[in-house]
Amino acid sequence: EALARSAAPETIDAQARVQLASGETILLVLEEGGWRIDGGVLDAAGLVTPLDAVAAFRRALMRRDLPGVERVLSRQTRAEWEEEVRRVIEGTEDTDDLEVEVQGNRARVRTTGGGSIELVRESGEWRVVDIHGPN
């Protein structure tokens, strides 16, 4: 009986963080005698801890992965973001309704609904600097 008890498998909690060449860090955990990659890698977001969420957010930003960024946002922040995107899309739908003011390499486009988009010319192309909602 004593021999049977001592032969029971021991539980060992082990983890290792490994930095990949891309700069991403993955977490390995030892389970059942083998190492496995913990969640949050390859777009399988495992957001169990605050650090998991920050790591997933960082990976999405590094990859320029907008859907990945959205997956990490809170419901409220995501809803606000989606509302802002919807507002900009609707406010710029009718180009005949837009008012454009150009001053040198800067421009402001007033959108339908009272918002505006600030732009700057860089290397001959116009780029969005900021978006403002209706006043």
Q: Is the dihedral of CA 37, 41, 42, 43 positive or negative?
A: positive
State the Cα–Cα distance between residues 68 and 62, nearest whole angstrom: 10
> What secondary structure letter does DSSP report for 114?
S
42 and 36 Cβ atoms separated by less than 8 Å = no
CB count within 10 Å of CB 116 equals 18
The per-residue pLDDT of the chain, averaged, comes to: 83
pLDDT tens column, 28-76: 777 777 777 666 555 455 788 898 889 889 888 998 999 989 989 999 9
What are the structure tokens assigned to 49, written together?
Answer: 């801890």
Return left, alpha or beta for 114; rule: phi > 0 is left, psi -120 to 50 is alpha, else beta: left
Question: 134 pLDDT band (50/70/90 cuts)?
Answer: confident
State the Cα–Cα distance between residues 101 and 96, nearest whole angstrom: 14
Return left, alpha or beta for 60; rule: phi > 0 is left, psi -120 to 50 is alpha, else beta: alpha
Burial pattern 68-95, b for ≥16 Cβ within 10 A else e, equals bbeebbeeeeeeeeeeeeebbeebbeee
pTM of the model: 0.59
20 vs 93: which has the higher pLDDT: 93
